Structure 1
Amino acid sequence: MTALSFDIPLTDRVPATRLRLTTRGRRVLAVLAAVPAATVLAGAIIGGGSALAGREEGAPAGTFATVTVDPGDSLWSIAEEVAPAADPRDVVAAISSLNALNGVGLQAGQRLAIPAEYAPAG
């Protein structure tokens, strides 16, 4: 028996082509890539709103006293005045947190809430 030989000349071989996408195919791929990103973004937007809604509007009534800032007062001097036995750093942190202060600059006449644990008795 003779072996069959299929010699195909190099010029008759089908060249390997790379993947070609039509305009429609590109659009489908773009949509498929965008859907997960849009889902994550929508979840972040919806979830971010609940964080704001869950934030306390303020301290419950009766949990703080107020003091009025005099000219030349600082958070440190107020902390030493209202709680002389406590560490002023802790008192300053508590006052800053309760009043949502970003810095240490105060205005004369400004009213500050003092946490009840540091509020002067009276």
Structure 2
Amino acid sequence: MVITGMRRAGQPAPLRLTRRGRVVVLTFLFLLASLASAVLWTTASRADDPPAGPPPTVVVQPADTLWAIAARTSPGRSPHVVVAEIRRLNGLGRDDIAIHVGDTLVVPRGR
């Protein structure tokens, strides 16, 4: 004869979570989900990284200016921004406007 709410001898007690236990389990699941999303975010952002290797360069041609080089190498971007990047990549100061035919300039990677 089994009485409801009572257990037989030798039978394990049913698993019950206290309030603290539920908080611990939910916190663990939240941290696990956060870790999974961080891993996925990092992998997705690496796909957008530019390819490794030597930076692209151009050789200055007659009648070239920084503006013309910027427009030619990064047509979809603002020439103001690209010229600033070319200056930074080549160690040119803000007032350095002289580039000479035959100079090799590092240019930003296309985006």
TM-score w.r.t. length of structure 2: 0.48
TM-score (norm 1): 0.44
**Structure having the higher Rg:** 1
